[in-house]
Amino acid sequence: MADSAVFEFVAGELERLAGLGRPAARAAVRSVLAKALYAPNSVSVDQMQLLIERLLPAEISANGVADAERVCKQIQAGLASRALSADGPESPDEIFSRMIRR
């Protein structure tokens, strides 16, 4: 199954903004997703925003990115300005959140 548009966007922005190579950028995003138990093919924008805020700065700092907080804020802003979807099935969190709102 292909990675979601959300995953592709964040990995691409890491390449562009942080100067990471394609494999390193994708590995960093996959690592953060794995820590949160999310799949690259179904992560939502909201889930990714939270991961970018809480986990990604440390992950990319470990890869030698100097100003990780700034890079992450730029990625978050770009992600918020795009109409991306997970392109996959809903996660259990999304299902339960929807059920609670009813």
Per-residue pLDDT tens digits of the chain, which is 102 residues long: 578 899 999 999 999 999 999 999 999 999 999 999 999 998 999 999 999 999 999 999 999 999 999 999 999 999 988 876 555 555 566 566 656 765
Tell me the Ramachandran region of residue 89: left when phi exceeds 0, alpha when psi lies from -120 to 50, beta otherwise.
beta
> For the chain, how many structural domains are there in total?
1
C-alpha distance across the termini of the chain, in Å: 32
pLDDT of residue 20: 95
pTM: 0.80
pLDDT of residue 84: 67
8-state DSSP, 94: H
Range of the domain at 15: 5-101
pLDDT of residue 95: 60
pLDDT of residue 98: 56
